[in-house]
């Protein structure tokens, strides 16, 4: 975009403006720096103001950051500050939304709904690429202000739409607001408040929440304690986010246009980004079903193998035109495989692995890990690629092999379990490779408590005990 380069570029030796790789890295990576801080900071707001209130706060911060960027004239400092502030909102929301989705979704649909969250992100990226393609030729500042400024609309939609969504029933119960929690649970399941399903769910949540709250207020250090295998769960969440960033896909997202052009393609950078974005959307759609049919472990293991094959084939290509076509083909397959498996699954796992007591903090640590490595990748990857070219893909190949081994030995299957049953899974000490057939017992205890509670309620209401099967 010539206008953007003219406003924020540097003067070269020939007297013309250009955007140096250093300045490009700073502008790109400052957003990621903000996301790291925001992901950690949301843990306080999520527990203090609730999930809904926290979304409202960080959506407002994101909108302010976008407004600062859109109003920039020539100041690189203002542009980067705006990106950092917007990044605060992006990072915080990237942690809160899986947290909120995980706490409000039925266990049979939780994985699908968390993948749907990822799909919406990918669709947003794809639309941004299309918008860049449509506006980059405009000879004035509209070429970049329109794509940036339209984010204001999305921020306002979120700011207004959150008022129509309920608070997390798990958060409400944790705050002692049982009556409000019952109303939300009934509404989310489409049943009356007096329905047996509501009794059972409230009893199950109450049972788990009271058990985990015996130790008082949670601290950040508790996320790594041996109590209830919290250190293992937090470590798994952080490790999956780390491995996701070093799958290699973000290298294509950020610098794929430059990389493909060096491989000999004649497509414009904007067309390349649209192609990659479209492939990502198509790849995420089957994940909506596979996350519940294949499960979390199988998705991650399969994805690691497929992406590793793509990385090593593309990384060892030669320099002729035919080999360049191979690079592009396997890069597209790499992005597709990532979108099916490693794109959504770590976020699903992060949103369902922790007890309410430390959930906001542990998810914050996982999300912050993602954005920390996103920042490092966006800052250093172009420099590494400039030195070693396609061989950078061999680094990603090695990390994918590490990912396969880690998932096999450390990641248990959580498909079809409630959040409280996931807690029981970790407490049971079952080996990850034996976890697929594991059955919970928490639901049985909660069911008995719910029956006892209904008997007492019916006796109080009618004056005589009532026996109910």
CATH of domain 2-165+217-434: 1.20.1250.20
Q: Is the pLDDT of residue 41 over 80?
A: yes
Give the residue, 408 or 24, on which the prediction is more confident: 408
Question: Average pLDDT of 216-227?
Answer: 83
- Average pLDDT, rounded, for the chain: 83
Instruction: Write down the pLDDT at residue 308.
Output: 94
Instruction: Write down the pLDDT at residue 321.
Output: 60
Domain boundaries in the chain? 2-165+217-434
Binned at pLDDT 50, 70 and 90, residue 262 comes out as low
Give the residue, 401 or 98, on which the prediction is more confident: 401
pLDDT tens-digit series, residues 157-179: 999 999 998 998 888 888 888 88
Instruction: Write down the pLDDT at residue 429.
Output: 84
The least confident of 1-15, 104-118, 269-283 is 1-15
Binned at pLDDT 50, 70 and 90, residue 213 comes out as low
Q: Is the pLDDT of residue 259 over 70?
A: no
pTM of the model: 0.80
Q: Is the pLDDT of residue 469 over 50?
A: no
Q: Is the pLDDT of residue 434 over 80?
A: yes
Task: State how far the Cα of 311 lies from the Cα of 404, in Å rounded to an integer.
Answer: 14
Question: Average pLDDT of 408-436?
Answer: 89
Question: Average pLDDT of 307-336?
Answer: 79
Q: Is the pLDDT of residue 467 over 50?
A: no
């Amino acid at each position: 975009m010539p206008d953007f380069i003219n406003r924020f570029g540097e003067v070269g030796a020939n007297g013309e403006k250009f955007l140096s790789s250093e300045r490009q890295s700073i502008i790109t990576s400052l957003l990621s720096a903000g996301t790291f801080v925001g992901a950690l900071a949301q843990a306080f707001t999520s527990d203090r103001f609730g999930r809904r209130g926290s979304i409202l706060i960080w959506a407002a911060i994101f909108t302010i950051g976008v407004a600062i960027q859109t109003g920039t004239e020539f100041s690189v400092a203002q542009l980067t500050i705006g990106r950092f502030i917007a990044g605060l909102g992006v990072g915080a929301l990237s942690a809160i939304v899986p947290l909120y989705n995980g706490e409000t979704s039925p266990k049979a649909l939780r994985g699908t709904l968390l993948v749907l969250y990822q799909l919406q992100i990918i669709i947003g990226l794809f639309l941004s690429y299309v918008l860049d393609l449509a506006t980059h030729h405009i000879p004035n500042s509209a070429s970049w202000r329109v794509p940036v400024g339209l984010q204001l609309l999305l921020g306002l939609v979120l700011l207004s739409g959150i008022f129509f969504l309920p608070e997390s029933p798990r958060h409400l119960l944790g705050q002692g607001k049982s009556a409000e929690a019952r109303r939300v649970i009934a509404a989310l399941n489409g049943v009356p408040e007096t329905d047996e399903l509501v009794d059972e769910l409230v009893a199950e949540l109450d049972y788990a929440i009271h058990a985990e709250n015996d130790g008082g207020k949670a601290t950040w250090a508790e996320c790594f304690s041996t109590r209830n295998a919290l250190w293992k769960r937090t470590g798994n969440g952080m490790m999956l986010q780390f491995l996701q960033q070093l799958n290699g896909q973000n290298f294509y997202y950020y610098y794929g246009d430059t990389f493909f052009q060096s491989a000999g393609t004649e497509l414009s950078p904007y067309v390349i980004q649209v192609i990659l974005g479209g492939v990502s959307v198509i790849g995420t759609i089957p994940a909506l079903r596979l996350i519940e049919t294949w499960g979390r472990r199988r998705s991650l293991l399969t994805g690691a193998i497929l992406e590793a094959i793509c990385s090593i084939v593309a990384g060892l290509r030669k320099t002729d035109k035919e080999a360049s076509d191979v690079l592009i083909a396997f890069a597209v397959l790499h992005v597709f495989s990532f979108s099916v498996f490693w794109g959504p699954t770590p976020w699903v796992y992060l949103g369902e692995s922790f007890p309410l007591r430390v959930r906001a903090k542990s998810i914050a640590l996982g999300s912050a890990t993602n954005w920390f490595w996103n920042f490092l990748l966006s800052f250093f990857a172009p420099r590494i690629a400039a030195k070693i070219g396609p061989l950078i893909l061999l680094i990603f190949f090695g990390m994918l092999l590490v990912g396969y081994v880690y998932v096999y030995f450390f990641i248990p299957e959580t498909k079809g379990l409630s959040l409280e049953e996931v807690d029981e899974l970790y407490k049971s000490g079952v080996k990850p490779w034996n976890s697929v057939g594991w059955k919970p017992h928490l639901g049985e205890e909660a069911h008995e408590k719910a029956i006892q509670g209904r008997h007492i309620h019916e006796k109080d209401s009618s004056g005589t005990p009532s026996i109910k099967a």
